[in-house]
Every structure is written in C-alpha cells, then in structure tokens.
Amino acid sequence: MQQNKEQVPLWKQLQACAEVVRAVRQGMSGGAAVDAVAPALRPGVQALVFHVWRNLGRAEALRKALAPRAPPPLSDALLCVALALAWQEAQAPYDTFTLVNQAVEAAKRHPDCRPQMRFVNACLRRFLRERDSLVSLTDKDPVARWNHPQWWIARLQKDHPQDWENILTEANRHAPMTLRVNTRKISVAAYQQALLTAGIAARPVVLSGIELERAQAVSSLPGFAEGWFSVQDAAAQLAAPLLLGGLDGVAKRRVLDACAAPGGKTGHLLELGVQDVTALDVDALRGERIRQNLARLDLAATVLTADAGQVQDWWDGRVFDAVLLDAPCSASGIVRRHPDVRWLRRASDIEQLAAEQKRLLAALWPLVAEGGRLLYCTCSVFAAEGKDQLQTFLAHNTDARLLPSPGELIPRKFKNMDSVQDNRHGDHDGFFYALLGKYKH
C-alpha cells in the first residue's frame, strides 16, 4: 500500500472506495465493483475497502450519531469510508488526520460530493474531537460491535446459540492462505521443503493442505506453472476425499461435480484418481476457468455449460456413482475472505437460496446410482442452507441415508471429523457437509 500511496493521491483512492461501497449497497458484488476501478488505483483501493467492509457497521453507527439524516448515497459512502478507516487509530492504515483531510479533499474534487463537502468536513472534524465519546455511544449498537447487519446477527444467534460470537469474531479476521498440494506431482513434505527453500514459512494442515505463514502472490510460489498446488481453503479440501472415501475402484467411477467453477474440487477429484469427471457450471466464462485451472494441473474433465437443475439439457442418461453438489449459497461462511458479502446479502436472500438448493438436490438425486452417494455442501453457517435443508431432504427421500460426515464446520473448529483429529483447530472457513448414500426403500 505504501508504494501505491506514493503513486496515487489518497483522496483518489478514497473516492474510488466510496464508489465501491455505494455499488455494493446497490447490489453489486464487491469483486465486480473493485474490478471496475481503474487499474492504477485498484490495489490500494482493494486493500482499503476490505478494511472498510470489516468496520462498516461501526462506521454506519458513527455516521448516524454524527448526522441522523443521511446525505446523498455517494457522500454517505465517502463519509462511512473515512469513519471505517479512522475509528480505531491503532489499526488505521493512515494517520487519522490525514484520512480526514483527504476525505474532505475527495468530496471537494468529486462533482457529486462537492455540494456536501462542508457537511463531510464538519462531521469528520467533530468525530476527531469527540472520538472516544462517540465510539462509547456506538458500543451499545450490536451492528457496530460485530460489524454485521442486525438480521445476520439474529440468525446466527438462533442457529448457533453457543457459537455465534465466535463466528462473528472469526468473520472479521484475515483468512490464511491455504494450498492443496497436487500429490500426483509432489508430496506434501517435498513441497513444504520447496517453500522453505524459497524462504516461505508454512505448516501442513488437513489432508494434503499447507497453510502459509503469510500470504504470497500465487504465481510467485514454487511450482505454480508446473501445477504442484492449488489455492483452496482447508474446509473446502474435505469435499473430494469425503465423496470418494470408501468407494472401491475410484478410477472407474463416474463422478459429477455440479456447480463446479472455478474447478478446485474438480481438480481434487482428478488428483485422487477419478478418471471420468463431468464438471458442470451454468456460466460459460466460469466453465472456461475450470478448463484453464485443470490445464495448469495437467488434468482434464468433461466440462459442460448448463443449469444443473435442468437435467434434460445436459444429462446423457447414465447414472453417476458419486455427485458433488457444492450448491449456490449465501457465502456466510467465507466472509473473512469476501467481507463485502455481509453488506451485499439481504435477509430475504436466504430463503431464495434455500429454495434453489432444494431444487438442485431434487434434480440431481435421481441421477445417483443405487449404492452411490451425493455430497451436499455449502460455504454457509446458516442452518437454512445446512442442517435444515438436510432434514427436509431426508424427510422426502426415503432411499437416502446420511453417512458419516462433518455436518457444520464452524470457523476454526472442526466438529465430528475423525479424519482430521490431528488438525482439530485448523484455521478454516465455515462450511456444511452432508454425505448421502442411496439405498433401496
């Protein structure tokens, strides 16, 4: 960030951050909003806006305390950006007086914010004078304390009465960079040594994973071009081994990876020896990413573009021995990697997503061979997308049996997973896993 600070005025970065925050508030994903930022600004803006999203609840509460009536959307976003960056002086990426001065400059130089420049200046100067009392006042607001929307907090309190505070705390931490070693090419120990030789500290985690002590540029890591590894969270690395565990003759099995993009789990299935994998995704561009990622690993699958739930459009009539359904979900389990998600989602989204998950389960279950299995998973910590979805499915499908599987994986706490006892406290995302076997009625 320091290099970018010298090249690009901070006020320009703050303007771009405000545009990104406004876009997310209007329904655009954070990734898409950041991608729309000018390339010269993008690295600095991404670093700043991630900090903003992790502190936006506090910033919004402070803005309401300073000015109960919100200014126009872009000026409000700029004001909240400055407050999110400055409210904790010890963690602020820049000196707080500099942040305030540059935020006012950003308002002055943007035609949409210029009419509110004096308002922005007055609010931020008052904040500097009364910081301690304003922060103390907003401590009473759960949205400010936890930096998540109220509906999100309430849902977690209901779904996880013992763990909700831990989940919210972990959601604001920076996620580690975890790799999955391609053991067809190199062993975990050998790759860890390659990292050590390159001066990169790392430790082995669950199964074939390695967690880096510090995040690195992916393409700079040893063996990237050679396909020695993929970037994949420790919780996500459980999917392929869970689906294949206990299956005889894995190489000869026919496996479907539904909703497969960007192909991390497809690659893992192939690395574990499956030779006949169909990878399905509804988006053609995302399907191309699957092909590209597999090509780097020297692997190949049948990649199809279609809605997995519209079976008649893509299925050839042959059943699958195993189906992996990593269903579209709220992404509530990966907000530490995508902190914009909590501000992008709405309470009504969860029911809509649960309905989509139910549709996909119903469509894909008939495609599973008798004696085969389907692994249902979501990167969500909401019960509606996990255990509630599972209970509904089992109640309506008497030929389905729940096989040993982790269930809810709360961030940084593995539960009920014998195969990872040596890494019970691995640093992982929130996930839900249910392995379903198909048997005669």
Same domain membership, residue 284 and residue 395: yes
Domain span at 381: 236-438
Residue 164 covered by a domain: no
Residue 165 covered by a domain: no
Same domain membership, residue 39 and residue 77: yes
Same domain membership, residue 138 and residue 70: yes
415-436 per-position pLDDT tens digit: 444 444 444 445 899 999 999 9
* pLDDT reported for residue 412: 65
The answer to which of 203-207, 216-220, 294-298, 365-369 has the lowest mean pLDDT is 203-207
Residue 274 has pLDDT above 60, yes or no: yes
CA–chain centroid gap for 231, Å, is 13
Same domain membership, residue 270 and residue 215: no
Same domain membership, residue 78 and residue 187: no
CB 103 within 8 A of CB 147: no
39-58 per-position pLDDT tens digit: 999 999 999 999 999 999 99
What confidence tier does 6 reach under pLDDT thresholds 50, 70, 90?
low
Nearest to 122 by CA among 57, 47, 67, 42: 67
CATH value at residue 307: 3.40.50.150
* pLDDT reported for residue 426: 58
Percent residues over pLDDT 70 in the chain: 95
Same domain membership, residue 394 and residue 303: yes
Pairing mode of beta strands 431-438, 320-326:
unpaired
Percent residues over pLDDT 90 in the chain: 93
Same domain membership, residue 274 and residue 401: yes
* pLDDT reported for residue 365: 98
CB 21 within 8 A of CB 83: no
62-76 per-position pLDDT tens digit: 999 999 999 999 999
134-186 per-position pLDDT tens digit: 999 999 999 999 999 999 999 999 999 999 999 999 999 999 999 999 999 99
CATH value at residue 204: 3.30.70.1170
Residue with tokens 């402070």: 62
Residue 414 has pLDDT above 50, yes or no: no
* pLDDT reported for residue 420: 41
Task: Look up the pTM and report it.
Answer: 0.92
Same domain membership, residue 213 and residue 65: no
What confidence tier does 246 reach under pLDDT thresholds 50, 70, 90?
confident
Number of domains making up the chain? 3
Whole-angstrom distance, CA of residue 384 vs CA of residue 390: 9
Residue 220 covered by a domain: yes
CB 305 within 8 A of CB 358: no
Query: Per-residue pLDDT averaged across 354-360, rounded?
Result: 98
Give the three-class secondary structure for 346.
Answer: coil
Active site residues: 379
Query: Per-residue pLDDT averaged across 10-35, rounded?
Result: 97
Residue 299 has pLDDT above 80, yes or no: yes
The answer to which of 5-14, 120-129, 313-322 has the lowest mean pLDDT is 5-14
Residue 381 has pLDDT above 50, yes or no: yes
Same domain membership, residue 330 and residue 217: no
Same domain membership, residue 392 and residue 263: yes
Residue 64 covered by a domain: yes
Residue 400 covered by a domain: yes
Residue 173 covered by a domain: no
* pLDDT reported for residue 440: 79
Query: How many other C-beta atoms are found inside a 10 Å radius of the C-beta of residue 279?
Result: 27
Same domain membership, residue 430 and residue 344: yes
Whole-angstrom distance, CA of residue 282 vs CA of residue 275: 23
Query: Per-residue pLDDT averaged across 87-100, rounded?
Result: 95
CATH value at residue 134: 1.10.940.10
Same domain membership, residue 314 and residue 259: yes
